[in-house]
Amino acid sequence: MGGGPRPFYAALLDMPALTPEARRFIEAEAERRIGWGSQAIAAGHAQLSLALASNDPAAVQQAANEVRSGVLRLESGTAALQAIAAGTPPRQFAQAWFREQLSISSPEAAPMVMEGGPWGLSWYHLTTMAFLVAFLLGALMIQYARMRRIGGLVERLTPGGAPGAAAAPKRDDATSPGTLAPDKGVAEQPAAPAARPVAATPDAPASAKKPWSGKLRVAAIFRETDTVKTFRLMNPEGGDIPFTFLAGQFITLAAEIDGKPVRRSYTIASSACQRSYVEIAIKREDHGAESRHLHDQVAVGDQLQVSGPSGAFTFTGEEADSIVLISGGIGITPMMCVVRCLNDKSYSGDIFFLHGARRVDDFVFHEELGYLQKRHPNLHVVATMGKVSATPWDGAQGPVSKEFIAQAVPDIAHRRVHICGPPAMMEAVKTSLLELGVAQNKIKTEAFGAAQGRVPSGPEPTAAAPPGPVPGDAPVAPAPAALPSAAAQVEFTTSGKTAPLAPDQTVLEAAEAIGVEIDYACRVGTCGTCVVPLKSGEVTMAVEDGLPTDEKAKGIILACQAKSIGNLVVEA
């Protein structure tokens, strides 16, 4: 069997002299090698780009081998052309080539005619390696920038962060009234959680900056009960909603109804862990201008004027290793946002959800809570109905009492509690919690209707309290009345107006009386929307929940709470 053609440099060993025939053979072979090498380098670079983009180490190695093979062929062809140009006999420069490839030095052999560079490498070799290093560094920088962008998007999508891991508490066989568990109202109850260190900083609003304001499109409307509808709002331009929020915050809707401007605030009920849309669940009130307008007039495709988010009644899962949510009526909406978000992020702590409704037919999100409880063993839902209705109910009946709470939540004194509902219900629940040993600083409240921004723990203030915020219709600005007689006055520097200021009148009310615009939402001191700089004077504020300590130290006040018996200068 005949052998194949000998390799190029092996064939040169049989050519002792550089004859014309040998020169033609070497030139042709050298040009072919240069062409092959150039093509291999180009192909290797292309493969390397694809391999880096797909983050495939094996493909990167294969591409590097392809480039290396091309460089060797290109160098061998170039060296052959240089040798015949210098008149070096073929056998001599072939031997020199082999010695260089095998790293064998020979003082007797003539050196290859290749211009040397640092570290014994040719300049061509050094240039090629420098190009490859620059290419790899550029690809790594692009990949790093992509990862930073992805990390930023993930951080924006998860404003509350993932909760820390917590050991699952041991459960006992206690039963709860009105539970939605499938075993005839009996739910497993966990034992008391382990002690958790008190946070070094107090609860604060998510942000002290001005809320976002713009249009959102009504993408869907869901009927929850005979009187409650859920409105799903999305970005009219597509993509995510143009703001982030925390579980428990609310947004404010503004509209002109019957020729009058109306503003109402509604708690976000959808999960804060996704940003495709926000949902608000609204109960139709016979005397609620905005709720009647939304229920009766607004349709899918309409656009609503929205501002927000606002509010400090939040829970992200980082604040405690378990949470007790107690709601009444439509006060269930902020609790649904919390439950949905905690489940979305696989919160490992126990979630106790206690709800009171007038009838089973008024129990909003009843079916969804039953499904979530079956799916998430750390969610314990118990409810009580105030009245008997045609719909069967095997659970508890009556108010959310001290006994109801104690039976539903083991060792409640060590847990954080959030309450939202009508004012009378909230005051009764807070009294029960204090009697059960829950510390004042572990009780967080949010009221609606005619409630305070927080349930008072001491004597009632002498001044009449403004209407309260959130799950239902929030307060509308009062119609400007006759300017009160007062010894004090407040000067608004931005608008260049001055208004009289009565001792029982807030800065916001004084501003509205003379047409000075100050943004607001809750009007009870919890949302932080109405913050304005105080340039001169002193004020008192009954509620400061929406004002961070550092901003208060800088002279920032809540216009809806600030009152004074002296002259004031305010930037508004």
From residue 351, how far is each of 189, 340, 541 by CA, in Å? 11, 11, 34
- Helix and strand numbers (H, E) in the chain are 12, 21
Amino acid at 522: C
Structure tokens at 241: 């909603």
Residue 59's Cα: distance from chain center in Å? 36
Give the separation between CA 241 and CA 227, rounded to whole angstroms.
27
pLDDT value at residue 204: 39
Give the Cα separation of 17 and 12 in Å (integer): 10
Q: Which of 70-74, 229-233, 304-308 has the lowest mean pLDDT?
A: 70-74
Range 140-147 average pLDDT: 82
What is d(CA 132, CA 365) in angstroms, rounded to the nearest whole number?
61
Above pLDDT 70, what percent of the chain? 76
Contacts (Cβ under 8 Å, ≥6 apart) of 564: 488, 490, 501, 503, 507, 537, 538, 539, 540
Task: Give this prediction's pTM.
Answer: 0.55
- Of 335, 171, 332, nearest to 247 by C-alpha is 335
Euclidean distance between CA atoms 12 and 6, whole angstroms? 10
Q: Which amino acid is at 312?
A: A
What band does 47 get if pLDDT is binned at 50, 70 and 90? confident
Strand pairing report for 568-570 and 488-492: parallel
Distance CA 540, CA 487 (A): 17
The CA distance from 357 to 566, in Å, is: 47
- Give the closest residue to 563 by CA, choosing from 517, 495, 501, 519: 501
Residue 186 neighbours by CB under 8 Å, 6+ apart: 175, 176, 179
CA distance 393 to 414: 31
Instruction: Give the full edge-to-edge strand order of the sheet including 260-267.
Output: 260-267, 250-257, 303-310, 212-223, 228-234, 278-283
Which one, of 169, 184, 230, 172, lies nearest residue 414 by Cα?
169
* Mean pLDDT of the region 68-93: 80
- The amino acid occupying position 376 is H
Burial 432-471 (b: 16+ CB within 10 A, else e): bbeeeebeeebbbbbbbbebbbbbeeeeeeeeebbbbbbb
Whether residue 203 contacts residue 316, with contact meaning beta carbons closer than 8 Å, is answered with no
Q: What is the DSSP string of 307-368?
A: EEEE-S----SSS-SEEEEEEEGGGHHHHHHHHHHHHHTT--SEEEEEEEESSGGG-TTHHH
Per-residue pLDDT, 153: 64
Cα(224)–Cα(207) distance, integer angstroms: 31
- pLDDT higher than 50, residue 446: yes
String of DSSP letters for 117-139: -GGG-BHHHHHHHHHHHHHHHHH
pLDDT at 178: 55
Q: Domains in the chain, start-ordered, CATH in brackets? A: 8-134 (no CATH), 174-197+320-447 (3.40.50.80), 212-310 (2.40.30.10), 488-570 (3.10.20.30)
* pLDDT tens profile 158-171: 544 433 333 333 33
Peptide bond between residue 205 and the one before it cis (omega within 30 degrees of 0):
no
The gap from C-alpha 462 to its chain's centroid, in whole angstroms, comes to: 41
Each residue's pLDDT tens digit, 180-228: 544 333 334 444 444 333 233 334 343 345 679 999 999 999 999 999 9
Query: Residues 285-312: what's their mean pLDDT?
Result: 92
- In this structure, what DSSP letter does residue 381 have? E
Tell me the Ramachandran region of residue 349: left when phi exceeds 0, alpha when psi lies from -120 to 50, beta otherwise: beta
Please tell me the distance from the alpha carbon of residue 388 to that of residue 386, in angstroms, as a whole number: 7
Q: Supply the mean pLDDT for the chain.
A: 79
DSSP state of 431: H
Determine what percent of the chain is predicted with pLDDT higher than 90. 44
What phi and psi, each to the nearest 5 degrees, are found at residue 260? -120, 140
The tens digit of pLDDT for each residue in 471-515 reads 444 444 444 444 445 679 999 999 999 999 999 999 999 998 898
Helix (H, G, I), strand (E, B) or coil at 429: helix
3-state helix vs strand vs coil in the chain, percent to 5:
35, 20, 45
Please name which of 5, 77, 6, 9 lies closest in space to residue 39, comparing C-alpha atoms.
77
Q: Give the H/E segment covering residue 421.
A: strand 416-421
